[in-house]
Amino acid sequence: MTTRPRVWAPTAESVELVTGGPDGPTDRHAMTQDPGGWWVAALSLPHGADYAFAVDGSDPRPDPRSAWQPHGVHGPSRVFDPERYDWADGAWAGCDARGAVIYELHVGTFTPEGTLDAAVARLDHLVDLGIDMVELMPVAAFPGVHGWGYDGVAIYAVHEPYGGPAALQRFVDAAHARGLAVCLDVVHNHLGPSGNYLGVYGPYFTDRHETPWGWAVNLDGPDAAEVRAYLVDNATRWLREFHLDALRLDAVHALVDDSPRHVLAEMADAVAGLAADVGCPLSLIAESDLNDVAMVTPTAQGGQGMTAQWADDVHHAVHAFLTGERHGYYVDFGSPEVLAKALTSAFVHDGGYSTFRGRDWGRPVPPETDGHRFVVFGQDHDQVGNRALGDRPSARLDDGALAASAALVLTSPFTPMLFMGEEWGARTPWQYFTDHAEPELVEGIRRGRREEFGGHGWAELYGGDVDVPDPQAPSTVTVSRLDWSEPEQEAHRRLLDWYRDLIALRKAQPDLASGDLAAVGVDHAPDGSWLVVRRGAVRTVFNLAETPAEVPGGGAGAVLLRWGPVEQGQDGTLRLGARGVAVLGPDPGRPAGTS
């Protein structure tokens, strides 16, 4: 198959197609202007051909819709024919994100090799764990080799050091063969600072709105229709050409859109139409800090139509409760009452005052809302990587508290997500790293990281001045890679078994698998030393004290799973060992799992 290159450049006087690679001769071919500001080439290019565009005689720049950037984000694009791949997933029935057990991973540090093909070799670990959906952090092309992916600039391309677009097809096909769905994290709210050439072509950005990254994407100004199409087409193209099952949309609150119909609703309807065409469920998961259920309200009811959204408040409630941290955005979290609210309604800030924001925040969650609409976690890339040292909870919590965190998330009425290595209590940190070539940009990033953590109370938390890791240092990447020898060690293996058993129990017990928020109740000691979470006929009981304790009302039923010793009293009490957890339910015929 050949492709006739085309590009949107509505204000250009001329556009040329530049063929040839960076190391060979190049030729320029005048393009013809079509209605709507599009320019079309007269010749077609085969798969593997290098090309770029020159606007008004300027230097050649990559195609804004390039699928392949083998020479990096500053070099020419390469034609990629997605139909060359022979898919083997014809029997794959798909997977709705709601209620799935999700596993977030970063391709560059998930394995020593840091590639999509190397990640395939670890998929069986995820199958054995009980994972339903793998969530890849962004793979869109970004500068250099190493990075988180949130400074991508070629949002249609797959980062070449990860293996390029063909490797993503192979990864998804291999995952489907194992019964694993794949979600891709995409960033539509901004582009990175290096290699962003969209402004050369047209009004992709506007100064009418501001975001934390500068000018906003132009979603509601002049020529916004094509910019909106650029994002919507990007979403449907990932799902269609790469057989992905879901997209996680980064920081959608930064998609500022004052038009009558929000771009997210437009995208949701387009994805729903594609799902009907392919006959498989396709999901959109929004990261939003607005605490507003309008995000997951169907478009027909005036909402944005997202399948699910991240609920950071649940993470904050769990983390602050177990660690005692109260700095920064944890200031309103940590009490058992706040944890109980998070576990029963997802949003802690649901219209009341947020101390960190200095204003009222959020809206209440109607009790009839499906809990599976909220993705929750005890760890994720942000909550680990944006700590001053990138330290995981395993650096500060004992195994009992880690087991409690897992149980709080995996027996919740929400859609649970794990962060790579969490399941065995990985001791490797996960730090922020970049690979930029421009000295001014590098120094700005270093300075920004130091200043960001200056007023967040990290010195008090870590017991002294904090030496923030250099994002550009190769060692920052090296220490962030998972150590796959850890799960073979006894202490790590015990926690891994606990996660595996919790996931299996969640799937086996209808009350745990349910997203019914109205069937959730929480009892706790005034000081938070013990906690009982009721999910219908199933109860998860926690003793967070350093000594054994009796928990009132927690002892009836069969012990389905336990962390540490458990004794059931005839008066309905349950005696748990120090830092112990037990799940009790109505299935006396099932042998209790132990960890």
Residue list, annotated binding site for substrate? 248-253, 312-316, 381-386
287 part of the active site: yes
The pairing of strands 308-310 and 283-286 is parallel
Angle between helices 312-323 and 336-345 (to 10 degrees): 150
- Let me know: does 409 contact 375? Beta carbons within 8 Å: no
| Residue 190 three-state SS | coil
Longest dimension (CA), the chain: 87
- Let me know: does 317 contact 339? Beta carbons within 8 Å: yes
- Let me know: does 568 contact 554? Beta carbons within 8 Å: no
Euclidean distance between CA atoms 312 and 387, whole angstroms: 15
Active-site pick, 250, 257, 292, 470: 250
Active-site pick, 257, 287, 380, 486: 287
Euclidean distance between CA atoms 51 and 2, whole angstroms: 13
Euclidean distance between CA atoms 304 and 269, whole angstroms: 9
H/E element, 384: helix 381-385
Closest of 184, 87, 188, 186 to residue 133, by C-alpha: 184
- Let me know: does 263 contact 257? Beta carbons within 8 Å: yes
Euclidean distance between CA atoms 433 and 424, whole angstroms: 24
The CA R_g of the chain, rounded to the nearest whole Å, is: 25
What number of other Cβ atoms are within 10 A of residue 451's Cβ?
A: 10
Residue 39: burial class (beta carbons within 10 Å; 0-12, 13-18, 19+) = buried
H/E element, 238: helix 224-241
Residue 476 amino acid letter: T
470 part of the active site: no
| Residue 276 three-state SS | helix
Euclidean distance between CA atoms 69 and 140, whole angstroms: 10
| Residue 471 three-state SS | coil
- Let me know: does 436 contact 442? Beta carbons within 8 Å: yes
Residue 593 amino acid letter: G
- Let me know: does 189 contact 213? Beta carbons within 8 Å: yes
Q: Distances in Å between the alpha carbon of 494 and those of 400, 411, 486, 565, 576? A: 11, 19, 11, 15, 18
- Give bridge partners of residue 589 from the DSSP assignment: none
Torsion over CA: 369, 370, 371, 372 (sign): negative
Q: Return the percent helix, strand and coil in the chain, to nearest 5.
A: 35, 20, 45
Torsion over CA: 98, 173, 380, 394 (sign): positive
Residue 337: burial class (beta carbons within 10 Å; 0-12, 13-18, 19+) = middle
Q: What is the dihedral of CA 168, 173, 179, 185, to 10 degrees?
A: 20
Catalytic residues: 250, 287
